[in-house]
Amino acid sequence: MPDELDRDLLRLFVQGDLDAFESLFKQFEIDVYRWILRIVRDASTAEDVLVEAFWRAYRGRGHFDPSRSFGAWMRRIATNAARDHLRAARPRAGWSTPDHQIPAPVGSDRDLGEAVALAFRTLPPKLQVVATLALIEEQPYAEIADALDLPIGTVKSRVFRAIRALRKELARLGIHP
């Protein structure tokens, strides 16, 4: 729960005070950037998504309750911005992976890594986000549920579905985990 000084800063932010927004940006920028980077897995993209997330937070400031955690609220917004980016970057339905991008049967750890990365990119964004946070970043399900504003059971279900889809895609690529 925020202390009185933080509550005042958050109230000013909700009212549209740019100095309060800048202060919150400076305070949370690194943590939010790291969170986004866990999802999008690219530093340059994470910087773009960070700007978008804070812009969304400023535009939606009227919906923020100053008695709540700004960090959790910001992580939720950042997750949605990252998911939107993944959705936009995903190949359109009906497109398939060009044959030259399908790795040959795995002969090295590098080949396996490329095949797994390719399989991850085929996941729908809502599964990709959860799978990345749970399987790669090893974030606790409770933290993922909080960031995505989902029940923990939904997170577990999406991780299960993502694993099943990854296994299917890896098998299609000639890899049998």
119 lies in the same domain as 147: yes
Between the alpha carbon of residue 101 and those of residues 89, 111, 115, 119, 133, the distances in Å are: 16, 12, 9, 11, 25
Rounded (10°) CA dihedral 108, 111, 113, 115: -140
Phi, psi of 110, deg, nearest 5: -65, -45
Residue 75 confidence class, pLDDT cut points 50, 70, 90: very high
89, 108, 123 - which closes a domain: 89
Tell me how far apart the alpha carbons of residues 7 and 15 are, in angstroms, rounded to a whole number: 12
pTM over 0.95: no
Domain boundary pick from 38, 56, 89: 89
Q: What are phi and psi of 142, to 5 degrees?
A: -65, -40
* The pLDDT value given to residue 94: 40
- Residue 122: pLDDT band (50, 70, 90) is confident
Task: Determine the Cα–Cα distance for residues 54 and 29; give it in Å rounded to an integer.
Answer: 9
Inform me whether the pLDDT recorded for 29 exceeds 90.
yes
* 44 and 26 part of one domain: yes
Same structural domain for residues 82 and 105?
Answer: no
Per-residue model confidence (pLDDT) at position 103: 42
Query: According to the model, what pLDDT value does residue 108 have?
Result: 55
Mean pLDDT of the chain: 85
For residues 111 and 168, state if they share a domain.
yes
Cα separation, 118 vs 21, in Å, equals 38
CA 55 to CA 24: how far, in whole Å?
12
Q: What is the CATH number of the domain that holds 29?
A: 1.10.1740.10
pLDDT of residue 120 exceeding 90, the answer is no
Q: What pLDDT, on the 0 to 100 scale, is given for residue 102?
A: 41
**Whether 66 and 44 share a structural domain:** yes
Do 50 and 111 belong to one domain?
Answer: no
Task: Please compute the mean of the pLDDT values over residues 4-33 and round it to a whole number.
Answer: 92
User: Does 68 score more than 70 pLDDT?
Assistant: yes
How does DSSP classify residue 135?
A: I
Q: Are residues 80 and 103 in the same domain?
A: no
Quick one: pLDDT at residue 4? 63
Write the burial class of residue 163 (CB in 10 Å: 0-12 exposed, 13-18 middle, 19+ buried): middle
pLDDT at 106: 45
Q: Give the per-residue pLDDT at 48.
A: 96
pLDDT at residue 73 is higher than 90? yes
Q: Is residue 177 part of a domain?
A: no
pLDDT value at residue 56: 96
> Does residue 118 share a domain with residue 62?
no
Residue 110's CATH number: 1.10.10.10
pLDDT band at 1 (very low <50, low <70, confident <90, very high): very low
pLDDT confidence band for 12 (50 / 70 / 90): very high
Identify whether the C-beta of residue 39 lies closer than 8 Å to the C-beta of residue 79.
yes
Judge whether 83 lies within some domain: yes
Instruction: Please give the tally of structural domains in the chain.
Output: 2
Domain assignment of residue 158, given as a range: 99-172
> Which of residues 49, 71, 89 is at a domain's end?
89
Is 167 part of any domain? yes
